[in-house]
Structure 1
Amino acid sequence: MPFLKDIKYSLHVAMHPFDGFWDLKYENKGKLRMALGILLALTLTMIVKRQYVGYVVNYNHPLELNSINELKYIIFPFLLWCLANWSLTTLMDGEGKFAEIVITTGYALLPLILINIPNILLSNVITLREASFYHLLDALATLWFVWLLFIGTMTVHQYTVLKTITTMLLTLAVVGIIIFLGLLFFNLIQQIVSFVYTVYQELSLRG
């Protein structure tokens, strides 16, 4: 089955990133549908994690969580990273296409699912003294993800190690700039709408 084959390949990428991302780049083994599927699965996993992780390590108030609102913490940064990386690497002789960047980033997210699901179960049976194991696994998931993203970025753009590190740091800077400009734009729009509404009210009262 194609779906099982895609899952098997995504696990291969997670365990053997150099070979996996090379095949993704030059053998077209990576699938956009699988990358987006991993993104969706991670979103659902993080929603479950925020709501059902054990009370020993759960610093959220479940009744105050909004599942739809949680999407912005996963999907929005994912899209921003891909857009910023593509925009930046286009100017830095990167060989990766936008679709390849999306696929690479999506596949790199897999460790966050592989570790977080058993970690959620673990969090419900550990004591306060054992909470360090939960946080350790959390940190390992993040490091694994960053490692895969690093290898994927280096392979898909055919960069050196130093240029890959520089590019990833600059991508974070570009993400920050995009967020700043976006907030500035929406603030400007809000002020314009408020001004127009105020003028309308003044004209209505005088009329």
Structure 2
Amino acid sequence: MRFLKEARYSLHVAFHPFDGFWDLKYENKGKLRIALVILLAVTVTMILKRQYAGYVVNYNHPLELNSIDELKYIILPFLLWCVANWSLTTLMDGEGKFAEIVIATGYAMLPLILIYLPNMLLSNVITLREASFYYLLESAAAIWFVWLLFIGTMTIHQYTVTKTIMTMLLTVVVMGVIIFLGLLFFSLIQQIVSFVYTIYQELSLRA
């Protein structure tokens, strides 16, 4: 099937990032739907991990977890990264389009699935002394993800190593600025609504 062939290509990107991201940009082998499927799979993986990881390493109370709340810890940072990176690289002569940024970021998240799922199963059979292996694999997944994100960013924007590192750090800063402006905007809207409602109540009482 075509979908399975496209999905297998994401494994090629994970294990051969230089060739994979180059073909993703210049041979159009990366697919937006695969990137979104990976994003969805990572979200489901994180939900399962928080609920079913072994008690030795799981400090969450399963009955208090809300799966909907988990979306904001995965999907929101993903969208913020893509928007912030696109906004920043547009000003820094980046060659990557917004769709390419989304695809590259989505493909870079694949190691989180490849390691977190078996690691979740491992956590249910290890002892407290063996928990260090669990955390080692967690760290390996994070490093692999950041490495792929770095290669993807460098390739799609055609940046140097130094400029890629600087861009990624600035992207995180821009994400913080977007969050701050978003909270400020909603706070302002809330105050305006409250002010209008207060005036409405005053007019209603006087009438």
Output the TM-score relative to the length of structure 1: 0.98
For structure 1, which segment, 78-87 or 57-66, has the greater mean C-alpha deviation from structure 2 after superposition? Answer: 57-66
- Aligned pairs for 1:169-180 (under 5 A) are 169-180=169-180
1:108 pairs with 2:97: no
2:2 matched to which residue of 1? 2
Aligned residues with identical type, % of pairs: 83
1:148 matched to which residue of 2? 148
1:70 matched to which residue of 2? 70
Shift of 1:206: 2.1
Unaligned runs of 5+ in 1: none
2:183 matched to which residue of 1? 183
**3-state SS of paired residue (1:201):** helix
Shift of 1:69: 1.2
Shift of 1:177: 0.2
- Aligned pairs for 1:20-35 (under 5 A) are 20-35=20-35
User: Separation in 1 of the partners of 2:47 and 2:176?
Assistant: 24
User: Separation in 1 of the partners of 2:70 and 2:8?
Assistant: 29
Aligned length: 207
Unaligned runs of 5+ in 2: none
1:160 pairs with 2:160: yes
1:45 matched to which residue of 2? 45
2:92 matched to which residue of 1? 92
- Aligned pairs for 1:51-66 (under 5 A) are 51-66=51-66
For structure 1, which segment, 19-28 or 57-66, has the greater mean C-alpha deviation from structure 2 after superposition? Answer: 57-66
Deviations 1:96-126 (A, max 9, x none): 0000000000000000000000011011111
User: Separation in 1 of the partners of 2:140 and 2:203?
Assistant: 62
Shift of 1:4: 1.6
| CA RMSD after TM alignment | 0.7
1:11 matched to which residue of 2? 11
1:126 pairs with 2:126: yes
